[in-house]
Structure 1
Amino acid sequence: MSIRGKALALLMAVNALSGYELTVESSSRQVYQGEPLQLVYRFAHTASDKGVDFRFAAPELAHFQLLQSHAEERNENGKELWEKTYVVAPLQGGELSSGTAAMNVAERTYTQDAWGQWMPSVTWQQHLFEPVTLFANPVPGGVQAVGDFALKAVIDRNTTESGEPVRLTLSLSGCGNLATAQPLRMAVAGVSVFDEGHTANAAWKDGCYYNEVNRTFALVGARDFTIPSVRFRSFDPATQRVVTAASLPMPVHVRAAVHSQQREIPKEETMTIWSLAAGSAAGFVLGVALTLLAVRRRSREERVRVDSLRTALVALFKHLDDPEAKKSAEAVEKYLYEAAEAPDSSKIATLLGRLKRGERKAR
């Protein structure tokens, strides 16, 4: 018998004599680098045992990535069972050991003093778990994770208004390890893409470490665009092959901005000077006529300014990648559709001139 075998035999003999049961289980002894596995440490004792306190000394788990851990206690077959579960993944290939774990037990003992009195005391005893040894196989280069995953892309609409966002959710799910994978990304030429956050859930169930990651993006474009396919490469330990999960391209139709309806001119603004003159003095008629002309002039100027800003908005939509153009487009939209303060038309005209000159130089 090897030295290691003799040491393990001695360890088990000591545990048996103590009356405590210490076991450790591994879901697999042959895995791939990055592949999740489960280690379960169990410590059982009866309520009548002399132990009064128990403290677990965790294994070193060197060269392992710790994904999850939890502990629980329960009564099973008349015994008090303490259980610690680790979900880990090898960080490198070759033969690996979990390291030494132990349960430190405080036992109550009694000693007799010089006067014959029995005095209680507590002594700590250490009981060792058998180390877990396994072999991790290497994986091919260029993969993003180890496991079998499905990739799905969903949008909340495939038709939208110009300047309105389309929300895209990318979902990656399956058995394996996504803890070290790079976040899913999205880029579309000519479209503003905003990352709105992500959610991630993982749990060991039905013999595998199940992961689900969802990432949401808001995409804002001024013209039709297509959301490209997203690809994710992983190594599947079950088939021992590199597999690629991919989403389908999705076209998005962008309608032109809907113009607000022209303001209805009040009826009194359309009254003629002659209809007023029928029952009024010439001076009063002249004053009213001048007032109406001023009102009409202001209304006409307002319509001209609204139309010019609408035209400018369409032009600004072509340059949403420019921060100043994007800010100006938002200001114009708020004025046209939310009754906000009118933006400075001269500044917008200057900005559009600069952008057009940039386009001509680019050509």
Structure 2
Amino acid sequence: MKNLGKKIIIIFSLLATAIYANVVAKVYPKNVVSGEVATYTLTITGGEVNKPVISTICGSNVLGTSSQTSIQMINNDYKKSYVLSYQFMPQKNCVIAPVNVEVDGRMEQSNSVKVTVKPAVQDKNADFVVNLIPSKTKLFVGEPFNLQLVLKQKKDAEAVDSKFIAPDFKGFWVKGESQATRTEEGDFIITKAMYRLAPQREGNLTIQPAQLKIATRISSRDVWGGFMPQVKWKSYFSNEGHIKAKPLPNNAKIVGNFTISATADKLEINPNEAVNVTVKVVGDGNLEDIKSFKPYIPDVNVFDEKINIKGNTLTQKLAFVSDKDFTIPPFSLAFYNLKTKRVEKISTQPIHIKVNGAVKKTELKIQRDDSIKTSEKSLHVTQKREVLSKVWIVAAFVAGLLIGILIMLFVKPVKFLKKEKALNLNDEKLLLIKLLPYKDKDEEVKKIVDVLEANLYASKKEKIDKKILKEILKKYDIS
């Protein structure tokens, strides 16, 4: 009993706190359908309130705000209240943390609020029913298919305004969209639209539900108890679309059925003038996966523009610049044909471009070969001359040696026994010639050589120490 009494006291204290709390937070609705807008409200009681700035709630941006002010009398005391509303679109379950609000100079804190997000569910009995109907559910990567969107609306359903949010086509190429058409069938108005799609990758792909938001007029009571008209939004969701995409056979990258063409704006140009070529591919398939047609051509500059796709037609412009004649090779495209069940290849014809006054190739190789041969011949002649020159020198040396031996044998020995004439110390030219070989290894010789050169070539008249000169001549046996 004691525990029960404590629990009752705690409950009453909490209720009193809730009733007289300065800041109370709520969310409407508490269970939010994915894609719908929820409203977060702060009811603040007090005289002076510093309104908080809230830009995101549960990770979602605030879509709109509003505020109301009212005065109530509680226990013969007037209380001023503020109701701040914030609209947001939650993406998953979350808890809104308490918010700090300054009330009458004091910092007050709100309660936390839990938000539950439920997945979108199609209501087939509602006033508005949206359906997604794919023309195929099993197909190849890049294979186009139609997705029909059908809106079924009861004739007596009222709507002040409406907003349509298209499905999320993540994982698909959106190749086209038709204009909506409207017809009447019994008690319903039927609106139809068509999307042309193609899967970008293999695997199980999901098309998220489309959303239709309908605004209807309702009446609600204001703070004074009176009725005032308001607009209420309600969301209607379609079913999901499920597609299974298979990889293309034979390692093909493109699927469909196409034709290809290439046209040049001119076939004859001046040197370094541009030839503009337009490549066009027409057909039903994954044109988005086709790569640039830019070719490699030796000695030709090629420039390609970005591929442009419009409907079932792909175009690409290229420019070719050269200073001599060239040929643009065929442009080709390989694809898997769904009708023939095999990979096919289509190509354009080669385009021959004539360049007026084209620069002819210089046969550098032939000239280089002749030059090499001439150089080799000249080198051979030079080497031959050098060999002959060396032979003649050796022959002359041998001949001189033989002549010297013969003279020694047959000339009277008396002549060789004659006393040689003494070296004239006053013959400065002869002295210079005799002393030069010893200049670099004897400092005394160098000094005498310097004096002799000065006297002979600088017109000086310096005297040589004859005593030192004789010692040098004796030392090196110079005569």
Q: With structure 1 as the length reference, what TM-score do the two structures score?
A: 0.57
Q: Please say if residues 46 and 80 of structure 1, whose CA atoms lie closer than 8 Å, have aligned partners that are also in contact.
A: yes
**Alignment of 1:176 onto 2:285:** yes
Choose the corresponding residue for 1:30, options 138, 141, 151: 138
Amino acid at match of 2:314: V
**Distance in 2 between residues matched to 1:137 and 1:197, nearest whole Å:** 29
C-alpha distance 19-232 of structure 1, shift in aligned 2 (>3 A): same
Q: Please say if residues 257 and 285 of structure 2, whose CA atoms lie closer than 8 Å, have aligned partners that are also in contact.
A: yes
Deviation for aligned residue 1:176: 0.7
Choose the corresponding residue for 2:153, options 25, 45, 50: 45
Alignment RMSD = 3.7
**Distance in 1 between residues matched to 2:169 and 2:319, nearest whole Å:** 41
Aligned length in residues: 247
Q: Please say if residues 51 and 107 of structure 1, whose CA atoms lie closer than 8 Å, have aligned partners that are also in contact.
A: yes
Q: Which residue of 1 aligns with 2:184?
A: 77
**Alignment of 1:224 onto 2:325:** yes
Matches within 5 A, 1:1-363: 14-16=123-125, 18-45=126-153, 48-62=156-170, 64-68=171-175, 70=177, 72=179, 75-77=182-184, 85-110=194-219, 118-140=227-249, 142-195=251-304, 199-202=308-311, 210=312, 212-256=313-357, 314=359
Unaligned runs of 5+ in 2: 1-119, 373-479
Unaligned runs of 5+ in 1: 1-9, 203-209, 258-313, 320-355
3-state SS in 1 of match to 2:289: coil
Amino acid at match of 1:102: Q
Q: Please say if residues 294 and 303 of structure 2, whose CA atoms lie closer than 8 Å, have aligned partners that are also in contact.
A: no
3-state SS in 2 of match to 1:179: helix
Amino acid at match of 1:67: V
C-alpha distance 95-194 of structure 1, shift in aligned 2 (>3 A): closer
Deviation for aligned residue 1:47: 6.6
Deviation for aligned residue 1:48: 4.8
Q: Please say if residues 170 and 216 of structure 1, whose CA atoms lie closer than 8 Å, have aligned partners that are also in contact.
A: yes
Deviation for aligned residue 1:228: 1.0
Identity of aligned residues (%): 25
**Distance in 2 between residues matched to 1:246 and 1:73, nearest whole Å:** 39
Amino acid at match of 1:235: Y
Deviation for aligned residue 1:116: 8.7
Amino acid at match of 1:35: E
Amino acid at match of 1:32: F
**Distance in 2 between residues matched to 1:105 and 1:41, nearest whole Å:** 17
Looking at CA atoms only, which structure, 1 or 2, has the larger radius of gyration?
Answer: 2
**Distance in 2 between residues matched to 1:141 and 1:228, nearest whole Å:** 26
Amino acid at match of 2:278: T
**Distance in 1 between residues matched to 2:286 and 2:261, nearest whole Å:** 18
**Distance in 2 between residues matched to 1:360 and 1:43, nearest whole Å:** 82
3-state SS in 1 of match to 2:230: strand
Q: Please say if residues 32 and 237 of structure 1, whose CA atoms lie closer than 8 Å, have aligned partners that are also in contact.
A: no
